[in-house]
């Protein structure tokens, strides 16, 4: 599911971090998507890039398409958004996942002409991801399920990748058979900093305009270089207090090469040592600007960052 939002749409902003000179790649050092890191499994339900890869490398001959792949049958239910679904096998659970929860699923996806484009079943490995980091049809559909349930989803183009997606992702209505294996609650979101609106008087400022404040001191003695790979936990807010990304709520630290993220991160994290927790006020010029690409936050951004390791060393 490549973090960023497809069936992972732009999993997070780190994906944008590297893109603007600024999501999870096979080589973590190549990630640079700090705020946009994605789950380990690359699935069509997760990202357009993943979907494209799956279409290119799908395992022939693939799983046979369901007999009703061309259109929802009469016994399928359709929501106000246009998503159609049908329970194939009832589950044993009683709780429905929320959009912020992390889910573990097995799935297979087809286009309406019966061509399979992706399948965790064929790979022999379930997919895990935050439910609000995938295409809209998955976010809505999986919330209707309980653990153990198998459900078929007919996802209209507007809730998937569209009629003319980029990068080879499947177009039009998509059909998925999904089995919900497990649900885990997302960690509690961090509290919005009281000084999120502007740097306080005790914050320091660099020549570039980056403001920062040490929240807690670590035990490390070395600071990273731009070419180093760092592992961090972080949360980011706009100055109105809205959190736009957080590795904390995803329950997984982010790893990336420091020169592959936005300028404010490259500069700021070099001021840290392993174990340090620091707050940064990154001006728009060192972030995504006033008119960022779709999905990226604009203006000044505030990040709380904990540097956990440098090149694998604590």
Q: Which residues are catalytic?
A: 107, 117-118, 135, 161, 176
Separation of alpha carbons 68 and 70, rounded Å? 6
Structure tokens at 126: 């379930």
Separation of alpha carbons 121 and 172, rounded Å? 23
3-class SS of residue 185: coil
CA–centroid distance for 221 within its chain: 32
Q: Contact at 8 Å (CB) between 110 and 65?
A: yes
Task: Count Cβ atoms below 10 Å from residue 104 Cβ, excluding itself.
Answer: 17
Half-sphere exposure (CA, 13 Å, Cβ side) for 20?
Answer: 29
Range 139-149 burial, b when 16+ CB lie within 10 A, else e: bbbbebbbbeb
Structure tokens at 84: 């159609």
């Amino acid at each position: 599911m490549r973090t960023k939002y497809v069936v992972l749409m732009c999993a997070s902003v780190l994906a944008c971090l590297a893109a603007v000179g600024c999501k999870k790649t096979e080589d973590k050092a190549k990630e640079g998507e700090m705020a946009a890191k994605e789950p380990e499994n690359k699935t069509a339900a997760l990202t357009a890039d993943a979907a494209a890869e799956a279409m290119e490398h799908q395992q022939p001959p693939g799983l046979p398409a369901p007999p009703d792949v061309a259109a929802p049958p009469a016994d399928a239910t359709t929501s106000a958004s246009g998503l159609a679904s049908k329970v194939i096998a009832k589950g044993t659970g009683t709780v429905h996942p929320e959009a912020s929860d992390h889910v573990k699923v097995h799935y297979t996806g087809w286009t309406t002409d019966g061509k399979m484009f992706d399948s965790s079943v064929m790979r022999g490995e379930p997919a895990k991801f935050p439910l609000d980091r995938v295409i809209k049809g998955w976010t809505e559909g999986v919330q209707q399920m309980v653990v153990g349930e198998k459900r078929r989803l007919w996802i209209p183009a507007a809730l998937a990748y569209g009629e003319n997606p980029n990068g080879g992702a499947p177009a039009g209505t998509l059909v998925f058979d999904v089995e919900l294996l497990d649900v885990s609650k997302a960690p509690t979101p961090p509290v919005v900093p009281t000084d999120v609106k502007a740097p306080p008087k005790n914050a320091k400022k660099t020549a570039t305009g980056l403001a920062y404040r040490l929240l807690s001191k670590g035990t490390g003695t070395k600071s990273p270089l731009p070419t180093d790979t760092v592992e961090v936990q972080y949360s980011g807010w706009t100055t109105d207090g809205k959190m736009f990304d957080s590795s904390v709520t995803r329950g997984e630290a982010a790893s990336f090469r420091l020169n592959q993220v936005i300028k404010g991160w490259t500069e700021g994290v070099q001021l840290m040592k392993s174990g340090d927790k620091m707050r940064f006020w990154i001006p728009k010029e060192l972030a995504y600007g006033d008119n960022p690409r779709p999905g990226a936050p604009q203006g000044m951004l505030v990040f709380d960052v904990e540097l956990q390791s440098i090149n694998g060393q604590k």
